[in-house]
A and B are shown apart, each in its own frame.
Chain A
């Protein structure tokens, strides 16, 4: 099918069919699929014009592709496999700091991040809840009957405006409350767990007590104590049902 004259002008005709490549014994013991290089596996454009480029492995030092040569075998114009690179997660221990990917563990493991995420998530949930609660309960004005006579209703546009304002106020209120609760709970649970060094349900109980006390802090120590007890019991119940995740 191919002739030596065709190699420069028609490189595509160099590609044998799969049948041909399997059945041909021109390479001796090696199968033609053994020449599939890692460069070809990355789906980069392959030049069919016989120029063999020397490429270094693009993956980096944590990936071992020593099985494949650095020379990409383009001469045949066929996709052949010589060895795929495989990742070596254990090589992180020996890699110099320049080779490692940037470490973002502090973002997820620090207590400040947990508190911030709690504030944002709690705020979003509070907004949603406030919209639902506000929209459902603020549609009728508070006073409809004075001295037996019905108060005339305002035009529709005014009614909508007041409803929207009341809903916005309520959703902001819920947003603040939920953001505070979730942020304080998350941050204090992280701090308590780090201090204790254990992973069980009592971390949530203590942080629930702290959150409840913080919620009622403006109303005196007795309200704080009551809030502490109530929220601690609540979080104990919830975490006993949900299992000790943290």
Chain B
């Protein structure tokens, strides 16, 4: 849940900085700003997904490494204890 809040806030801030003009002449988004916002949101979410996949892979690799270190420690302790 916190991730989604963070995502929404950052996406809104960055897409507004890129797409909306600072001269507020009318209350609605203009047509160009609307299409820019659509594209910005789509790109942002796609980028987030890709980064999420890579992050997950990195996490898994790290977990595997930690697991293998723990296994080696266990094996050494067992071999010492068995002596």
Give A residues with C-beta under 8 Å from B.
Answer: 109, 190, 193-200, 203, 243-246
Contact = CB atoms under 8 A, between A and B. Distances in A.
11 contacts: A109-B34, A190-B31, A193-B31, A194-B31, A195-B35, A197-B32, A197-B33, A199-B32, A199-B33, A245-B26, A246-B30
Q: Which secondary structure dominates where chain B touches chain A?
A: helix
A198 B31 contact: no
B30 to A, nearest CB: 4
B31 A243 contact: no
Nearest to B31: A193
Interface of B: 19, 21, 25-26, 30-36, 39
B58 to A, nearest CB: 34
Contacts of A245: 25-26
A157 B52 CA distance: 84
Given A190-B31, A193-B30, A199-B33, 17 more contacts: A109-B31, A193-B35, A194-B32, A194-B35, A195-B35, A196-B32, A197-B33, A197-B35, A198-B32, A198-B33, A199-B21, A199-B31, A199-B32, A200-B21, A243-B25, A245-B25, A246-B32
Residue of B32, B33, B39 with most partner-chain A CB within 10 A: B32
Q: Top 8 nearest A-B pairs by Cβ distance?
A: A197-B36, A199-B30, A199-B32, A193-B32, A194-B35, A198-B32, A193-B31, A197-B35
Contacts of A193: 30-32, 35
B19 A197 contact: yes
Nearest to B36: A197
Contacts of B36: 197-198
